[in-house]
Structure 1
Amino acid sequence: MSIKTQVKPRQALQSIKPYTPGKPIWEVQRELGLTKVVKLASNENPLGASPKGIQAVQQFMAEIHRYPDADAKDVNAAIAAKLNLQSGQIIVTNGGDELISLISEAFLEPEDEIIVPSPSFTEYEFGARLMNAGVIAVPLNQDYGYNIELMLSAVTERTKILYICTPNNPTGTYLPKRDMEKLLAALPPRVLVVIDAAYSHFATADDYTDGLDYVREGYPVVVLQTFSKIYGLAGLRIGYGAAPEAIIGHILKVKEPFNVNALAQAAAAAAITDDLHVQASQQLNSDGREQLYAAFAALGLPFIKSMSNFVLVELGPESKRYYELLLTKGVVVRHGGLWGLPQHVRITVGTKEDNEFLITALQASMLEISKK
């Protein structure tokens, strides 16, 4: 005899869509029987993890029977020293995703609203929906740049948080410093600005800002950073936020005591000092972007020049078919349907060899589709 549950979830869950991650390599190998798979879907560092971070993990392994430091003091101190901030201006979290959830829990009431760019990272909306707050999506320009006037016009008495992802995921575009300053000057001081700078290390534009200067100047901003991208620690899940101490104090009230595991803390404290790995990753990414730009241009595929470690490419009405064909050839990319971009795919910049493998698979896919 089966028993049917009558437990009802919160009403807010009706408006929440679960996050869909990129397919892992092992899953594609298992499903399609492939021996070689190149994953260019999740914006991971193709150079791998920081060697200093790996060494720190290896040295700490014998201590994993102990609970981690609830306050992540060593990581906090390392971040503060690197960024010329005070320890009270830093909060260490289980990846950037947890920081977004904590910000939502700390500041949003059901009657509040957040403003998000569109398309952009979907977790901003997730955090707001979880708290029964409203979401106002402001479209990017046709060139996928930010429209500051449009964002400001969306501000109402209910606006509590405004998100800026720069460089933006999935477009790779960014908010120039002059526009950031215009935005911060025009916003009411009661509005918290979250500057998601997870991809900041890959930005090369002279007028780019990662937002940290505004933390130092006391603006009501939270800068989100992660160790998943440039430092290559995606599998350990650790990130951090930088903000004025009063804002950090509010967020700390909703943080769980052991939110970041001990190995992640050890790795991050070491990795943030690994300048050689950062520089090598940046060079690999810059070279890889140019390699992909040249290939896409030669194939006649429109793309957005990126300040990040991925490129948004337009493949047209057959975009989903391209995505599926690339999978069968051992290349995992990200289809744009998740962001309301059904004619696009987002492609992570890989090693030179990874990129060549993608380009060959893309050429073969184009040939197959043209014969249809």
Structure 2
Amino acid sequence: MLDVARLVRPGIGDIEPYVPGLTDDELQKMYGFRRVVKLNANENALGPSPLAIQAIQQELATLHHYPDGASERLRQAIADFHGLSVERVLVGNGSDDIIKLVSETFLEPGDEVVVPHPSFSQYSFGAAIMHASVRRVDLGPDFSYDVEAIADAVTDRTKLVYLCSPNNPTGTILTRAQAEWLLQALPAHVVVIFDFAYNDYSLNPERVVGDEGLFRDERVVALHTFSKLYGLAGLRVGYALANESLLSYVNRVREPFNVNRVAQRAAAAALTDAAHRRASQEHARTSRAFYEAECQALGLRTTPAEGNFILVRTGDGRATTEALMKRGVMVRTGFAGLSEWVRITYGTPEENALCLEALRAVLAARV
């Protein structure tokens, strides 16, 4: 019998594949539900941008053509939106793709990556595939960033530092002052990646944003996605903003045609949909107020979440999640170091009400 383990590159067998949350189809099959309230994947409850849907419909007749290999039209739309040159934009098959590309560009075996903890698991995945080491820096007791601890974790072997703001799964932000202090403190050989997947949901004036001031530091890479605010998670489109020299090297390891034709057109259209963007931001704001008030009434602690989700301490996150699943409500748990917490994505007003009704019943059953 072929011993495949002896053939693969060292370290591959140690990588833990990403485990997504259950789908609504899986839960319906497990328990025989006709309807499931799916609040476990940080998806936009308002759905896709209507302008993106129109663009998709118009593009369907051209599916026999290859996409633009350089995503030129989409990159130009992103550049115009941010007021940057098109050379400072790289597009990927979701921001996961770009994390992998950055890892392949900069990391060698023995290098180090510094990541906040807990945070998005793909940062560590990118390091693992390149056989680099991960140095995790715990967030504070209130899940705030400890930038001094991050700076202290950097060594001569550190190549990348990831900063997710608002952080997934805690929803807490990195402030502009913290970012500026950290950039001053870090040595010149460290590339700093700001993951802004949820940043447009936040209206906090103190949060760090990817503006021209931030990009004056040529080590900065800003990640964005169309999966959250724009509701295009199923199309997988993300992008990076950085100085053109840095991106020119990342582009060398990018596969051609890495973003499909329909996704390119839909994302470009979504950028122009200011009404959908404002509605999504307002939905997050009202949903956050709803969950904070309801959880406070139940005696449950929440984080000061700035994304389209909230972290709720229920005592036993896995037990809570399983009990909610039996009532047709899907939330997320299992994040390292957060065994007492569940993450709840904001749903429609009806879905939010159904989630709280189920949560009350689950808590009451424990008494």
Q: When the two structures are superposed, what TM-score results if normalisation uses the length of structure 2? A: 0.98
Q: Does 1:349 align with 2:346?
A: yes
Are the counterparts in 1 of residues 118 and 335 from structure 2 also a CA contact under 8 Å? no
Q: Which residue of 1 aligns with 2:102?
A: 103
1:1-372 superposed matches below 5 A: 4-8=1-5, 9-214=8-213, 216-316=215-315, 318-335=316-333, 337-370=334-367
d(CA) in 2 for partners of 1:127, 1:21:
17
Alpha-carbon distance in structure 2 between the residues aligned to 1:15 and 1:6:
16
Q: What per-residue deviation string (whole Å, max 9, x for no partner) do you get for residues 24-83 of structure 1?
A: 111111111001111110000000000010000000000011111100011000000000
Shift of 1:305: 1.3
Give the direction of change, closer, same or farther, for the CA distance of 1:215–1:245 in structure 2 (3 Å limit): farther
Tell me if structure 1 keeps the 8 A contact 2:225–2:237. Answer: yes
Please report how far the alpha carbon of residue 212 of structure 1 lies from its aligned counterpart in structure 2 after TM superposition.
3.3
Q: Secondary structure at the match of 2:192?
A: strand
Deviation at 1:367, TM superposition (A): 1.4
Asked if 2 retains the 8 angstrom alpha-carbon contact of 1:166 and 1:196, the reply is yes
Alpha-carbon offset, residue 10 of structure 1: 2.1
**Is residue 214–residue 221 contact of structure 1 (8 Å, CA) maintained in 2?**
no
Deviation of residue 340 (structure 1)? Answer: 2.5
Shift of 1:161: 0.4
Shift of 1:13: 1.7
1:339-360 C-alpha deviation (Å, 9 max, x unpaired) = 3311111111111111100000
- The DSSP-based 3-state class of the residue aligned with 1:160 is strand
CA distance in 1, matches of 2:252, 2:46: 37
Partner SS, residue 277 of structure 2: helix
How many pairs align? 365
For residues 183-238 of structure 1, give each alpha carbon's deviation from its aligned partner in whole angstroms, at most 9, with x where no partner exists: 01111121000000000111111111223334542431110000000000000000
Q: Secondary structure at the match of 1:100?
A: helix
User: 1:327 and 1:18 mapped to 2: Cα distance?
Assistant: 23
Contact preservation (8 Å) 2:222, 2:241? yes
| SS of alignment partner, residue 253 of structure 1 | helix
Instruction: State the alpha-carbon separation in 2 of the partners of residues 248 and 29 from structure 1.
Output: 43
AA in 2 matched with 1:341? L
Deviation at 1:111, TM superposition (A): 2.0
SS in 2 for 1:117: strand
Q: Is the partner of 1:334 in helix, strand or coil?
A: coil
One-letter code aligned to 2:261: A
Contact 1:85 1:216 in 2 (8 A): no
Structure 1 residues 10, 340: CA separation in 2 closer, same or farther (over 3 Å shift)? Answer: farther
* Mapped partners of 1:255, 1:55: distance in 2: 29
Task: Please say if residues 67 and 261 of structure 2, whose CA atoms lie closer than 8 Å, have aligned partners that are also in contact.
Answer: yes
Tell me the SS of whatever aligns to 2:11: helix
Where structure 1 has 5 or more consecutive residues not aligned to the other structure, the ranges are none
Q: For 2:118 and 2:273, how far apart are their aligned partners in 1?
A: 33
Alignment check: 8 A CA contact 1:215 1:243 kept: no
SS in 2 for 1:256: coil
Q: Which moved more, 1:201-210 or 1:254-263?
A: 201-210
Query: Amino acid of the residue matched to residue 324 of structure 1?
Result: E
1:175 is displaced (CA, Å) by 0.7
Structure-2 separation of matches of 1:148 and 1:305: 19
After superposition, the CA RMSD in angstroms is 1.0
Q: In the alignment, is the contact (CA less than 8 A) between 2:118 and 2:138 conserved in 1?
A: yes
Asked if the contact 1:285/1:350 (under 8 Å) is kept, the reply is no
Determine if contact 2:162/2:193 at 8 Å carries over to the other structure. Answer: yes
1:321 to partner: Cα distance? 1.5
CA contact (8 A) 1:201 1:282 kept: yes
Q: Residue 62 of structure 2 aligns to which amino acid in structure 1? A: E
Q: Runs of at least 4 residues of structure 1 off by over 3 A?
A: none
SS of corresponding position for 2:221: strand
Q: AA paired with 2:81?
A: K
